[in-house]
Chains A and B, each alone.
Chain A
Amino acid sequence: MSEPRRYVSPDGRLAGGAAAELPVASDELLAGYRAVRRARHFDERAVTLQRQGRLGVYAPFRGQEAAQVGTALALRSGDWLVPSYRETAAALTHGLPLATAILYWRAHPAGWEYPADLRLLPFYVPIASQLTHAVGLAHASTLTGDGAVTMVYVGDGGSSEGDFHEALNMAAVYRAPVVFVVQNNGWAISVPTARQMGNTRIADRAAGYGIPGTAVDGNDLLAVTLAAREAVDLARDGGGPTLIEAVTYRIAPHTTSDDPKRYRDEAVTAEREAEEPLVRLDALLVERGLWGDGEEGALRAALEREFASALAAADERPLPAPEAIVEHVFESLSAEQRWAWEALR
């Protein structure tokens, strides 16, 4: 089993020591750090809002910010990002407005009002079913020559689904410009990876499909960023798909409805908090002299301001009318929806 690639240790030390050169430009590191902080801020506020009854059931991603932000930042405008329900951080990083994200988690129809030029698919709920869509999007890029790359997310549990196999195989056959990102967070609700699969290094399965596979420390923003860039570049240059396994840990419950105490020792979870991405990023930035009280104060204020403004915008949206239930089933109302539409008015 290959060891996941890592640049920054959990205590924030760069491989090679304090004298080692950063593998990315410092402004790129800072941009990634700010995006991770923005995602963390959203996640913490979302959990609070859910507890207050101001959000529906929510799937937190605490601890998985580096895996999501690092991969999403490797994309450019015009690339497709295909998230599952736990990838709010990736979606926000790719351009989903905060207010729209809040409205989605309220099941408000306006949660679908994506900016017209944003190539982001909606959050997927049926596990792994998004993977073949991503292959179709990617192959469409091959056919139309639009130069786009598609990045799609799935978890360790999703790697057990038949669609995982079908998608990787199809992508390999068509050499589709798609990057598969598996966030191996150790848990599929209550089932640990050891009871999910016989070979717990998911990236190794890539060889079986004849495509490149790489495992990275998913809590190391630099490792994720570099692996994602390589995969995106390969796809864009006609080299076909890559399977990236970002090894991370689901610190939070599966959703706000879940009770992890029923199936795991939360003392172990607390220990894993020490390995989450921000602990090491904070340490690295301070060590490198890239972050101080001034930057910290400004960032906190900006994040609070941005979220408050988005929440206010979301709160302003009136509840949908009942007849919205049968709108958009087809382009125009058929007799069946017309009948229901009249009944609901």
Chain B
Amino acid sequence: MSGPGLGQRAASAVSDERESPSQRPAEVSSLNMVQAINQALDQALAGDDRVVLFGQDVGRLGGVFRASDSLQQKHGERRVFDAPLAESGIVGFGVGLALAGLRPVAEIQFAGFLYPALDQVMSHVGRYRHRTRGRYTVPLVVRAPYGGGVHTPEQHADSPEALLTHTPGIKVVVPSSPERAKGLLLAAIDDPDPVFYLEAIKLYRAVREEVPAAPYRHELGRARVVRPGDALTLVSYGGMIEVCLAAAAVAAREGVELEVVDLETLVPFDEATVFESVGRTGRAVVVHEAARTGGFGAEIAARIAERMFYDLQAPVGRVAGWDAPYPPFTSLEHHYRPDAARVLAAVRDALLA
């Protein structure tokens, strides 16, 4: 293959552009989440020669959700390319690229299709730095659409984040809005460790948001309070943030102010922000779409119980998917995926406790 070699240029072009969004307030555009992700990928490819993007249908098609739309045309087939239909191969191949010093960004078409790659994830992605005492590292990003709410076929709506959070050595990021998605993805691609970046399918085109045009990063491992309140803390992430905000809006009409904490990064877990909030409200309900047993909510609830027990006015509540496979299409999905009513029922229990 001819042409200039990748990886000859360092990441300096990217770091020079690290200004905060507020410095160029005029240069914003209204984007939905998939457009914001597309812009982040475009800027990562432009800013760092080591970045390559690959996965099923990411090339000419631009991905089944169009997250990589037009990127192959813009950056060429060496930087953005299709992979054979082999999830274990895609992740393993990405490990190899990362070991060689590149900054691979792999796409798994749906998070529920990740399972053939779990040997790679658990045996290598999260383990390489540790087992080689830092001699080799895997700065790999794996993006995957997750979750339901859009009437997908069987096995297209899974939320497997707990499989990943239980695997040491892997960072797990779940953005909840276009503006956050762009900054978190650029930070994930810069990160020296492997990052799984789960994108809620329900949010891809749900809302538009002002997104700064210039590249920017949001630090990984930081939770944030997205709605302040004093009555109870809702702890959640990704596609459930809008559900929590809807519940909080309803509660506010009754004069009850719920605080909503968006974790954004599940690993490393920002327990300080959660503890600070629960310390003020004295009550917590954890919300996620994944099945309840062994879900990441169990970890959050356990941490709160371990450290905040004497600050609690009520047991920590959990609202989650039922302990059953996610139902496909339209007939039952709305009974599975938590909604504002279920969140409010748990809030009511906690407030009356």
Contact = CB atoms under 8 A, between A and B. Distances in A.
B168 to A, nearest CB: 5
A163 B130 CA distance: 23
Contacts of B78: 143
Interface of B: 1, 4-8, 52, 78, 83-84, 86, 88-89, 91-102, 104, 116, 119-120, 123-124, 129-137, 168-169, 171, 192-193, 221, 267-269, 271
A132 B52 CA distance: 17
Interface residues of A, number: 42
A184 to B, nearest CB: 23
Q: Which of B78, B93, B94 has most chain A Cβ within 10 Å? A: B93
A329 B93 contact: no
B129 A112 contact: no
24 contacts: A112-B135, A121-B99, A129-B120, A129-B123, A129-B124, A132-B93, A132-B96, A132-B120, A133-B99, A136-B104, A139-B97, A140-B7, A140-B96, A144-B8, A145-B5, A163-B89, A166-B92, A169-B84, A169-B86, A173-B84, A327-B133, A329-B129, A331-B134, A334-B267
B96 A113 contact: no
A132 B132 CA distance: 19
Contact of B6 (A121, A131, A144): A144
Q: Lowest 9 CB-CB distances: which A-B pairs, in order?
A: A136-B96, A132-B92, A140-B100, A166-B89, A145-B5, A334-B268, A133-B96, A166-B86, A136-B93
Given A143-B78, A169-B89, A335-B271, A136 B5 contact: no
B22 to A, nearest CB: 28
A114 B89 CA distance: 27
Contact of A166 (B84, B100, B131, B193): B84
A132 B123 CA distance: 13
Given A331-B192, A335-B271, A122 B99 contact: no
B129 A328 contact: yes
A135 interface: yes
> Taking chain A's interface residues, is the majority helix, strand, or loop, or is none over half, making it mixed?
helix
Contacts of B96: 132-140
Interface in A309-327: 327
A167 interface: yes
A162 interface: yes
B119 A129 contact: yes
A141 interface: yes
